[in-house]
Amino acid sequence: MNEWPPVLRRIVAMSLLIVLLAGIVVYAVLPWYEQINLRQTRVDMLQRQLLSTKTLLSNESNIDDELTKIGRLSGDDSLLFSSTKVALAAADLREFIGEVVADSGGQLISVQEYEAASLPDTQAIGLRAHLTGEAQNLSDILYALETARPVIFIDKLTVATSRRSVVRNNRRVRSRPASRLAKRNSLDIRLDLSAYIMVAL
């Protein structure tokens, strides 16, 4: 090697140095870099877990409320009226219907009991409600009945235009053809509703 020209010896030395540095990078630097990335990934994961935990803790009361609601929706107790007597359950259902209609802005005309078909191990409560209102009132009432707990079933729904509304609107059309009030027709609504209580064994 001493007989090699100085230029060639420098080239060989540089090549050996490059190979040595490459070996150091492959066997020392890269594993170290991978360890750093792995640790950073773990740190990011722990930070996300910490953030999620803080979010859960900050919403603990809301989560408890939702879990309570879910608990109420599970089991027969959420589906059936708690009253053990038909008369008491019918009174509760009648009161609930009155509140729903009042909250919707409709007008309850009458509520009458009727005989609804019972399910196994239950006693049916049937109420026939007669009310008036607008389309939005009816929509609000149906939504309230659909989401009610205990469950209330709509066995029959009849909707017609109120005769009083037709007469009133005809008068408005003759007196004020351009009035927007003339275009509103109150609805005559009849609902057959049923709910259930558990039969005492």
- What pairs with residue 198 in β-bridges? 122
First to last CA, the chain: 108
* Domain locations along the chain: 1-58, 76-198
The answer to whether 80 touches 197, Cβ cutoff 8 Å, is: yes
pLDDT of residue 66: 60
> What are the two backbone dihedrals, phi and then psi, of residue 110, each rounded to the nearest 5 degrees?
-160, 160
Structure tokens of 100?
């729903």
Structure tokens of 13?
């030395």
pTM of the model: 0.53
Q: Where are the beta strands (DSSP E) in the chain?
A: 107-114, 122-133, 153-161, 187-198
User: To 5 degrees, how large is the angle CA 91–CA 112–CA 88?
Assistant: 15
How many other CB atoms sit within 10 Å of the CB of residue 157? 13
Instruction: With a cut of 70, list the residues of the chain below it in pLDDT.
Output: 1-4, 7-9, 25-26, 28-29, 56, 63-78, 163-185, 200-201
> Residue 189: left (phi > 0), alpha (psi -120 to 50), or beta?
beta
pLDDT of residue 134: 92
pLDDT of residue 65: 66
CATH of 76-198, one of 3.60.21.10, 3.20.20.70, 3.40.50.300, 3.30.70.60: 3.30.70.60
User: To 5 degrees, how large is the angle CA 110–CA 113–CA 116?
Assistant: 135
pLDDT of residue 71: 55
Chain Cα centroid distance, residue 161 = 33
How many other CB atoms sit within 10 Å of the CB of residue 144? 17
